[in-house]
Structure 1
């Protein structure tokens, strides 16, 4: 009898210990989830495929001090633990998306009518073709591609002051981007070369790497939020993904287009890329965590090709054909997960010349800039993903290039009819 009592006590003690250890186990899981989503809570990081691959997995944690018996129990609980982690991750992502939606709705409700007004006295004569324009992260520096040169300007109170000219390109510069974190410049030209420029203090840039990236024009260069990947599209019919090791190297090449590839665009979650080409196709390319490769998941045939395309959010993008008076809107079907054309937006009637002026979306102002023929259209995305044409600026020639600053405050253009760089500022009415 006494022996049975002792055995019962021992069993009860072990069960209590197991319960304590299991509680500690789940506490550690919750702390881990909190660490992932709150200590480093950037939405861009938590949704970045490369970042997710670096997250510790359940088998990498010794959540509790384990006896053999406890280890067997924990092994049986692993599916439950993994399910809990997955559910928590999905819940946190849903919460983040909901918060972002509320922020956007608040921004949209506060937006007022506006115009971009030219600052005529700040225009600069520019006889060479200016085929690319870029702002740095705080709009204090502007870079312009002028034939084979890159001109670096200090930008203050809507005025440009030339501070450096870069001469290492051998062909016309088609595309320019500032890297926001490292403050480097990345440029692509009509020979297929990609150059990386570095600066210590925003006053002098030097070429730190030359990449023979393509065998024909580089039409578009974009960076992900973390700036550990950049993507290039070209008239050699390819899209290339580049990663940073000691230097930038090509990690993957997409060859599904059968003609020139023009603009490319990443979604907010940074796991989907869209491209448009002269082959009358739009490609939707998705990052696969399993294979760690980018895979073409959808090919959209269009009646008229276009050279401008842009993600608005994860489920919505816009596309401008070169002919007609309509800009197309594509939305992801919630069931099929395929993008379908759902509406057309009226823009000015015209025939697009070959100009690489990209579509650009400014989230802070819910504003899309879309060039078509001789016109630049500023389109506001209102609540429930409605599109409203707020302003259309007509130029004298369709050879026209431009860029908005990251906050949408300034708009800089060059066009063939004026042969000058013009500066416009955002003014609410």
Structure 2
């Protein structure tokens, strides 16, 4: 029996049970209406003729008025309850289908709005050579805001702010609050804020003021060494940072200030990569200690707990969730990207695939966070001197569509959230380069 048949049969059973409930509900409505009809037949209670004539009049009109109001409530309430029942049927059927697919390890196609169906035609990111700008200082972090109008570049200790308009970068501001090299940059999506991390463990929250200038709002100084990785929750209520001081710190916003509320100490070497799942209740980390940690929060009020430790043969700096139950991990300079999937029975992750990727270099391989671009179902994977662009198709297979060879391992960058632009800096060209998505 196929999955669709099982879902259909279970759905019919649910429909039958809920229809029984609906019949009982209709019967309750009938009993209420019968009670209200009886209420109108009850004679009015005699009221003594005194100065309380007004009270007598109110009592005489109250019973029919109550009946009218109650009937109106039933009239409006009944369709709402019936609609809720139908929604529950549809939601339960969808949940059953997802659970069956997970148990049978059938890869789900990416669910996208019908008006924006994913087009899986071939593509390439082409260099806009005339748009590149010279950047002689090391640029170890790049960030692009949600509407692709602002670009940040960490240039040694400075942060350069660029306006990005008509595919041209124009510098508008220079920020110099950091005392060490800037290593991470992350825009917030809901507010005009971004977060930067640096060499000596400092994290800065930046906000845009009334003059459309970025200003330092808060400095977080709990880490003692390099900030290697940083993620921001979707609701922007907490930040998670990983450092060379071997710790993962959770910063929660209280009264417009971020405070460190928890520290994970399970890594024994540098924390190199972090990623949150779609539900925001599970965090993965990878470290220089050849360890991947699965860290989970069971409810909004509980602390984060390490629920699984995965020992790997080769450490990596890049790790990324693909949805909730799949993540990718890139061992440093290896020719394969690993795919891990969660077992639906024991809720443990294990490696299920190895995807061929290009590297081409045997030296150091520093920051450049791995990304998953949902709108294009695309993994951005920096490995050695290559940036590999890997598409996850509707069958759950990962296929490398393009590998960009920069001729040097010092490459840093980010892809825009919509997947339209890839911006990088590399030591060979010493340029901030812009590549644009073209569908073939």
2:229, 2:151 → 1: CA distance? 18
Which of 130, 133, 136 is the equivalent residue of 1:127? 136
Q: Secondary structure at the match of 1:103?
A: coil
* 1:45 aligned residue: none
Match of residue 434 from structure 2: 423
- Structure 1 segments of 4 or more deviating over 4 A? 15-21, 87-101, 104-109
Note the alpha carbon deviations across 1:24-83, whole angstroms, 9 max, x for none.
8xx79x87x96xxx9xxxxxxxxxxxxxxxxxxxxxxxxxxxxxxxxxxxxxxxxxxxxx
User: Contact 2:151 / 2:161 at 8 angstroms: preserved in 1?
Assistant: yes
CA contact (8 A) 1:352 1:372 kept: no
Q: Is 2:376 the counterpart of 1:362? A: no
Partner of 2:322: 312
The 5-angstrom pairing of residues 261-340 of structure 1 reads 261-289=271-299, 292-340=302-350
5 Å matches for 1:8-407? 16=31, 101-103=110-112, 110-200=119-209, 203-246=212-255, 247-289=257-299, 292-349=302-359, 350-351=361-362, 353-407=364-418
Larger Rg belongs to: 2
Please list every run of 5 or more consecutive structure 2 residues that lacks an aligned counterpart in the other structure. 1-27, 36-69, 102-107
Q: Distance in 2 between matches of 1:94 and 1:137?
A: 35
Aligned residue for 1:376, secondary structure, equals strand
Q: Would you say the 8 A contact 2:118–2:376 is kept in 1?
A: no
Q: CA deviation at 1:157?
A: 2.0
Contact 1:108 1:383 in 2 (8 A): no
Name the Cα RMSD after superposition.
Answer: 3.3
- Distance in structure 2 (CA, Å) of the matches to 1:18 and 1:398: 78
Unaligned ranges ≥5, structure 1: 1-12, 39-84
Name the TM-score, length of structure 1 as normaliser: 0.78
Deviations 1:300-345 (A, max 9, x none): 0000000000001111100000132111000111211111100100
Higher strand share: 1
Aligned to 1:67: none
SS at 2:335 equivalent:
strand
- Normalised to the residue count of structure 2, the TM-score between the two structures is 0.76
Distance 2:334 2:432 in 1: 28
